[in-house]
Amino acid sequence: MKTITRSRLSQAMTWLFLTTSFILLAIFNATKPRIVIVHSLSQASSWTSSVDQGIKAALKDNRAPVSVTSEYLNLDLLSVNADLEALASGMRRRIDAIDPDVLIVVDDETSELIGRHYVGRSKTSVIYTSLLADPGAYGYRDPSKVIGVREILPLSAITEVISHVHPGRSARIAVVGAATQTGLAEMQQVRAHDWGPHQMIASQSVPHFEAWMDFVNGPARQADVLIALTMDNLAISATQPRSAPEEQIARWTETKAKPLTIGVRASYVQYGGSLAVSAPPVEYGRSAVELALKRVANPNFTPNGSSITLDSYDMSLRLSAIERRGMTLPAIYREAARASGHLYR
């Protein structure tokens, strides 16, 4: 009889221990600060995967308990005629269900569709990263509610590269980009840039890949250098609204463009191009999470000026493509590409 009583008591104590542990674990998880990260593109995007790499690196170094959820709008997988408002409404409902302490929005499209709707909420702090346009365009004015990382294209570095390729003379520059929110913001920076001794002779934001090809085969043929802006989410044609694969655009451009083409995304070289000078997506992911963790620890934390910019950039080179063009570049460019993992044969 005593043995049975002891057995029941042991079972009861075990049950009580497990129940208490589950309750405490549930309370711990429920009270952990919540961070939601929203990307405009899919995980298949080279840019998004690199931003995610930086996010994971920052979280790996973090010792404070946080709950992190990543979401993707997948704009690069959709028709350009997709109902974006319905897509954004569904995403906002998922975010509301999580009720995050911090919302990280990656790039301009996500700020337009998601971020601007959370400005001024009593609890959720918004952190933007890889934002090309002026933050005020999305209502990001109050640094107590919104902080982030501005993306400034490394156009001064591109100017230096052009000077090395065309030493001692003024080069004629053409620029083509997608007429998407990101592409238009990039073009605005390009047109406002002082190109120094060089001259921008043509620039166009195009609605689809066919128009991109028309520009490359037309105005760009008079240039010495063609700058290719972001190629994500560019429709195939006026009658085919599905997005053209970034790889297809890059390979066609490198093959058909008469002037040397310089990309502003590392993916241009990854997919067959010769040269790219690009903003560092890994650092945009890392910096955004670092800001988020500081906001979690101190809701009043604000960097000077409410936003930060990154001075670094990535160099990408494909040696075989450069050799085909008969070009030579300073060895430091090759070593910079090697160091960042963007040197291709």
**Residue 289: CATH number of its domain:** 3.40.50.2300
Q: Say yes or no: 40 and 108 in one domain.
A: yes
Q: Say yes or no: 285 and 274 in one domain.
A: no
Q: Say yes or no: 126 and 191 in one domain.
A: no
Amino acid, res. 106: V
**Nearest CA to 186 among 163, 159, 204?**
204
Q: Is the pLDDT of residue 18 over 50?
A: no
Q: Say yes or no: 60 and 169 in one domain.
A: no
Q: Is the pLDDT of residue 305 over 90?
A: no
Q: Say yes or no: 80 and 143 in one domain.
A: yes
Percentage of the chain surpassing pLDDT 70? 91
Q: Report the range of poorest mean pLDDT among 113-117, 295-299, 302-306.
A: 302-306
User: What does the alpha-carbon distance between residue 178 and residue 23 come to, in Å, rounded to a whole number?
Assistant: 52
19 within domain boundaries: no
Residue 120 has a pLDDT of 84
DSSP classification of residue 115: G
18 within domain boundaries: no
Beta strands in the chain, from DSSP E residues, in sequence order: 34-39, 67-72, 102-106, 125-131, 146-150, 172-178, 199-206, 225-228, 260-263, 275-278, 307-309, 314-318, 343-344
Residue 135 has a pLDDT of 96
Are 103 and 126 in contact, with CB atoms under 8 Å apart? yes
For the stretch 279-292, pLDDT in tens is 999 999 999 999 99
Would you say the pTM of this structure is higher than 0.85?
A: yes
219-224 long-range contacts, CB within 8 A, separation 24+: 219/174, 220/174, 220/176, 220/257, 220/258, 220/259, 221/258, 221/259, 222/172, 222/174, 223/171, 223/172, 223/173, 223/174, 223/258, 223/259, 224/162, 224/166, 224/171, 224/172, 224/173, 224/259, 224/260
**Nearest CA to 243 among 51, 110, 82, 106?**
82
Beta carbons within 8 Å of 43's beta carbon, 6+ residues apart:
49, 52, 72
Q: Is the pLDDT of residue 17 over 50?
A: no
Residues spanned by the domain of 124: 28-152+281-309
8 within domain boundaries: no
User: What does the alpha-carbon distance between residue 139 and residue 9 come to, in Å, rounded to a whole number?
Assistant: 62
Phi/psi of residue 141, nearest 5 degrees: -120, -25
Q: Is the pLDDT of residue 13 over 90?
A: no
User: What does the alpha-carbon distance between residue 185 and residue 179 come to, in Å, rounded to a whole number?
Assistant: 9
Q: Is the pLDDT of residue 109 over 70?
A: yes
Q: Say yes or no: 104 and 145 in one domain.
A: yes
Q: Say yes or no: 67 and 148 in one domain.
A: yes
322 within domain boundaries: yes
Q: Say yes or no: 320 and 216 in one domain.
A: yes
Q: Say yes or no: 294 and 335 in one domain.
A: no
Q: Is the pLDDT of residue 4 over 90?
A: no
* Burial of 242 (C-beta count, 10 Å sphere; 0-12/13-18/19+): middle
48 within domain boundaries: yes
Residue 182: which H helix or E strand, with range? helix 181-192
Q: Say yes or no: 194 and 213 in one domain.
A: yes
* 306: alpha, beta or left? (left if phi > 0; alpha if psi -120 to 50): left
Strand, coil or helix: 48: helix
* Number of domains within the chain: 2
For the stretch 45-70, pLDDT in tens is 999 999 999 999 999 999 899 999 99
**Nearest CA to 177 among 119, 216, 218?**
216
For the stretch 173-226, pLDDT in tens is 999 999 999 999 999 999 999 999 999 999 999 999 999 999 999 999 999 999
**Nearest CA to 254 among 230, 274, 238?**
274
Are 200 and 175 in contact, with CB atoms under 8 Å apart? yes
Q: Say yes or no: 188 and 259 in one domain.
A: yes
Q: Say yes or no: 272 and 285 in one domain.
A: no
For the stretch 85-98, pLDDT in tens is 999 999 999 999 99
Query: What residues pair up with 206 in beta bridges, in sequence order?
Result: 178
User: What does the alpha-carbon distance between residue 253 and residue 51 come to, in Å, rounded to a whole number?
Assistant: 25
